[in-house]
């Protein structure tokens, strides 16, 4: 990791990608993204910061593709010139946690990259975009934020990108996660495009069978994320489908639909978390299904070999280490269907 000297006047690059912060409501009552209307010049003057704006995308974040995520990641990398103090990404809130996760996974630089957005459109009389943008620029310009990885500054909170989760569809305090602190132990990956890599999320529920896991296997998934019940549980049909997927060279990650806490593979009985891990699934610990999917994509993009073992290293906590050590031996490589 290169050490960049502090500038006398902080310089922040703001990347715009669309989202609600750049949206206006039309005559039909429907909002669509356009050009960001936040007065970034006024923010720069108040904070005593040089701000450069780069228009990267103009898209609703729910419509973003893997190619778009790659575009944002590459734009962040380009923006981190030697004279830059930090980077802000203005992003739609629907998938901010995915893009922030991808950028954090490949961010091997002490300077802060800060994601933010808005819950209210730019033309709302009491919009939250200006506050969030100013908070994000201030965080990106703060030398004390160096070494904290990629951050999310939103409402009253500054959170780590890894573990952040949108917790409310409309409230201004929209995200939960871990408060930002230095992250010396954070594992980073080499930056490779995730476009073309298919990783599916399968929701589990009472009475679920293995049809969706089998469908993902048949349709070329290189990875599957199970959004399991409770602490990571399912049933015998799902266990059998996991075994078929792992035998086919697919990495299967076990996460939970529960917003707080993580996977704890203590239940058996033929369909519990212990049985899923024994069938070859790898525990995602406290990583959400959405961020687990991005992590698998990034790992597969880096190398198709030993994905399960490398995945386990990134999400490692004492509980996930115990779970993943009990899993079936990982396959040498995953399949990637052209």
Of 16, 20, 265, 320, which one is the catalytic site residue?
20
Whether 320 is a known active-site residue: answer no
Catalytic annotation, pick one of 16, 17, 85, 93: 93
Q: So where are the chain's domains?
A: 11-176, 199-325
Tell me if 166 sits within 8 A of 94, measured CB to CB: yes
Clarify whether 20 is annotated catalytic: yes
Contact in structure between 14 and 90 (CB atoms under 8 Å) = yes
Fold match, 11-176 / 199-325: yes
Is the Cβ–Cβ distance between 278 and 220 less than 8 Å? Answer: no
Architecture of domain 11-176: 3-Layer(aba) Sandwich (3.40)
**Within 10 Å of residue 334's Cβ, how many Cβ atoms?**
24
CA distance 210 to 319: 27
Domain 199-325 of CATH type 3.40.50.40: yes
Q: Distance between CA atoms of 181 and 149, rounded to whole angstroms?
A: 9
The ranges of the chain with pLDDT < 50 are: 328-331, 338
- pLDDT score at 35: 85
Identify the pLDDT of residue 17. Answer: 98
Is pTM beyond 0.75? Reply is yes
Q: Are 201 and 227 in contact (CB under 8 A)?
A: yes
Q: Which residues share a beta bridge with 11?
A: 50
Only one residue has tokens 């990259």, namely 113
Helix (H) or strand (E) holding 108: none
Partners of 330 in the β-ladder:
none
DSSP annotation of 264 = -
What tens digit of pLDDT does each residue of 26-51 get? 989 899 888 888 999 999 999 999 99
CB of 86 within 8 A of CB of 112? yes
User: Residue 139: enclosing H or E segment and its boundaries?
Assistant: helix 129-141
Q: How far apart are CA 259 and CA 165, in angstroms?
A: 8
């Amino acid at each position: 990791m290169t050490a960049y000297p502090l500038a006398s006047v902080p310089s922040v690059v703001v990347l715009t990608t669309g989202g609600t912060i750049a949206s206006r409501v039309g005559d039909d009552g429907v909002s669509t993204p356009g050009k960001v209307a936040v007065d970034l010049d006024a923010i720069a003057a108040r904070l005593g910061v040089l701000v450069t704006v780069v228009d990267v995308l103009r898209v609703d974040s729910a419509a973003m593709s893997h190619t778009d995520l790659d575009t944002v990641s590459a734009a962040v990398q380009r923006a981190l010139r030697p004279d830059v103090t930090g980077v802000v990404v203005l992003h739609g809130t629907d998938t901010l946690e995915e893009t922030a996760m991808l950028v954090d996974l490949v961010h091997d630089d002490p300077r802060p990259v800060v994601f933010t957005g808005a819950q209210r459109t730019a033309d709302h009389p009491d919009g939250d975009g200006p506050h969030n943008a100013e908070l994000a620029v201030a965080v990106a310009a703060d030398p004390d934020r160096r070494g904290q990885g990629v951050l999310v500054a939103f409402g009253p909170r500054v959170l780590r990108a890894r573990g952040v989760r949108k917790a409310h569809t409309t409230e201004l305090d929209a995200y939960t996660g871990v408060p930002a602190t230095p992250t010396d132990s954070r594992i980073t990956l080499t930056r490779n495009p995730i476009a073309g890599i298919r990783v599916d999320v399968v929701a589990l529920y009472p009475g679920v069978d293995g049809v969706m896991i089998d469908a993902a296997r048949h349709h070329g998934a290189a990875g599957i994320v199970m959004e399991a019940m409770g602490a990571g549980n399912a049933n015998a049909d799902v266990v059998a489908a996991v075994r078929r997927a792992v035998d086919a060279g697919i990495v299967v990650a076990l996460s939970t639909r529960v917003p707080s806490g993580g996977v704890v593979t203590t239940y058996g009985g033929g369909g519990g978390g212990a049985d899923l891990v024994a069938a070859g699934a790898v525990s995602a610990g406290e990583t959400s299904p959405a961020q687990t999917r991005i992590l698998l994509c990034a790992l597969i993009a880096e190398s198709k070999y030993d994905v399960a073992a490398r995945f386990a290293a990134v999400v490692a906590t004492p509980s996930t280490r115990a779970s993943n050590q009990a899993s079936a031996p990982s396959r040498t490589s995953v399949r990637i269907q052209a």
